[in-house]
């Protein structure tokens, strides 16, 4: 009995030592990129059931690679265009190959001028988080030297205030336990391999995601006009801060990454202009939304265009020029695969002579 226990202990010691050596050699504890406690999804493949969110075959696949990027490329040095944004760009509930970034890439490929366009968006991030990503995340990606960086911005910046930075923009959790988990996840090669294998077999059911709503019960009607301008408008200080962040992004992209920044304005899915009138989409039982949310987003979009003119940058006013159809959004701001395709196909002719 004692001999058996000794054999088990010795073998267990060898196995444990082997695992430690493997971690030290192949993990990032000593060598490799220093992601520390950054909460960037890496080495992950997830499956979501979106059958109750929008018309689909059911499961979608969401993949982020070892660098936290989404999309196909050989090595980081091969990336021509990097795309940044929040969940409206990350699109976790739109399958690999069907995001608007994928459709933009397809436009160039179909025209015989292929570009490697890769998604670096992070759910919930505003321009505050984009600045941090450039400083904390991208330096860990070996050989990353895109020629262009696209920003699809505006919506998430509406929630940015002077006195608070969201956990998405912090790029690390305020919870010490979660920070330790990310530190372990970012460095452990064995745990990452386990997560990759698990992700291949586990389908995560997703019902009401990102505030998804049933479109069958929604109607378009005139938005309620609010006459109080103070209620409608964004505080001037917030707009100035947003403009300054855009300037910082432009400078960092040009000076730190030696690339060219391009900004794209954003639209909400519950508003549209028809015959010069602002229409809002809501359930039949509810009161129509006011014009406030629409007008405030437009203020951010105008600020984006203003900074682009000031700095001589390329800017695509998607918010004012694109025409969406019913079914293009599965909630107020996130596009379904049809909406993502519409965005990608809209952007290609706008950018085909710019991204050369």
Q: What pLDDT, on the 0 to 100 scale, is given for residue 29? A: 41
Give me the tens of pLDDT residue by residue for the chain, a chain 356 residues long. Answer: 666 666 665 555 555 554 444 444 444 444 455 554 577 888 889 999 998 888 888 789 999 999 999 999 999 999 999 999 999 999 999 999 999 999 999 999 999 999 999 999 999 999 999 999 999 999 999 999 999 999 999 999 999 988 777 767 776 655 555 555 554 554 454 454 544 444 444 444 444 345 555 565 788 999 988 766 665 688 899 999 999 999 999 999 999 999 999 999 999 999 999 988 999 998 888 887 888 899 999 999 999 999 999 999 999 999 999 999 999 999 999 999 999 999 999 999 999 999 97
Q: For the chain, how many residues are written?
A: 356
Which residue, among 279, 263, 252, has the nearest Cα to 154 in the 3D structure? 263
Which residue, among 178, 351, 347, has the nearest Cα to 266 in the 3D structure? 347
Q: What pLDDT, on the 0 to 100 scale, is given for residue 132? A: 94
Q: What pLDDT, on the 0 to 100 scale, is given for residue 33? A: 54
Which residue, among 36, 39, 28, has the nearest Cα to 174 in the 3D structure? 39
Asked whether the beta carbons of 89 and 121 are under 8 A apart, the reply is yes
Q: What pLDDT, on the 0 to 100 scale, is given for residue 182? A: 52
Cα–Cα distance, 351 to 349 (Å, whole number)? 5
Structure tokens at 351: 């950018």
| CATH H-level, domain 70-163+213-351: superfamily | SGNH hydrolase (3.40.50.1110)
Asked whether the beta carbons of 251 and 245 are under 8 A apart, the reply is no
Eight-class DSSP state of 221: E
Instruction: Sketch the domain layout of the chain as residue ranges.
Output: 1-32, 70-163+213-351
Eight-class DSSP state of 95: -
Q: What pLDDT, on the 0 to 100 scale, is given for residue 5? A: 60
* CA dihedral angle for residue 340, residue 343, residue 103, residue 307, rounded to 10 degrees: -120
Global confidence as pTM = 0.82
């Amino acid at each position: 009995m004692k001999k058996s226990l000794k054999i088990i202990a010795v073998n267990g010691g060898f196995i444990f030592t082997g695992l430690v050596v493997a971690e030290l050699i192949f993990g990032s504890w000593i060598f490799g990129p220093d992601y520390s406690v950054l909460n960037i999804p890496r080495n992950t493949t997830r499956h979501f059931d979106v059958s109750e969110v929008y018309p689909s075959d059911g499961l979608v696949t969401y993949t982020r690679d070892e660098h936290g990027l989404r999309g196909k490329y050989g090595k980081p040095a091969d990336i021509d265009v990097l795309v940044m944004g929040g969940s409206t760009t990350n699109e976790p509930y739109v399958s690999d190959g069907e995001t608007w970034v994928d459709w933009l890439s397809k436009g160039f490929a179909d025209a015989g001028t292929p570009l490697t366009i890769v998604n670096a968006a992070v759910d919930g991030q505003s321009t505050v988080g984009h600045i941090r990503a450039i400083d904390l995340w991208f330096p860990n990606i070996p050989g990353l030297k895109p020629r262009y960086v696209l920003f699809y911005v505006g919506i998430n910046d509406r929630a940015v205030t002077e006195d608070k930075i969201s956990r998405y923009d912090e790029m690390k959790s305020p919870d010490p336990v979660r920070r330790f988990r990310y530190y372990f996840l970012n460095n452990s090669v064995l745990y990452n391999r386990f997560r990759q294998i698990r992700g291949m077999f586990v389908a995560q059911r997703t019902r009401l995601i990102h505030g998804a709503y049933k479109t069958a019960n929604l109607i378009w009607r005139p938005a309620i006009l609010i006459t109080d301008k103070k209620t409608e408008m964004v505080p001037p200080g917030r707009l100035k801060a947003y403009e300054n962040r855009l300037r910082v992004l432009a400078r960092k992209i040009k000076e730190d990454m030696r690339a060219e920044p391009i900004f794209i304005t954003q639209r909400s899915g519950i508003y549209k202009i028809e015959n010069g009138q602002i229409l809002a989409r809501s359930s039949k039982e509810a009161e129509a939304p006011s014009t406030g949310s629409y007008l405030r987003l437009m203020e951010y979009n105008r600020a984006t265009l203003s900074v682009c003119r000031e700095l001589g940058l390329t800017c695509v006013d998607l918010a004012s020029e694109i025409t969406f159809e019913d079914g293009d959004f599965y909630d107020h701001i996130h596009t379904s695969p049809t909406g993502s395709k519409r965005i990608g196909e809209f952007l290609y002719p706008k950018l085909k002579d710019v991204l050369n």
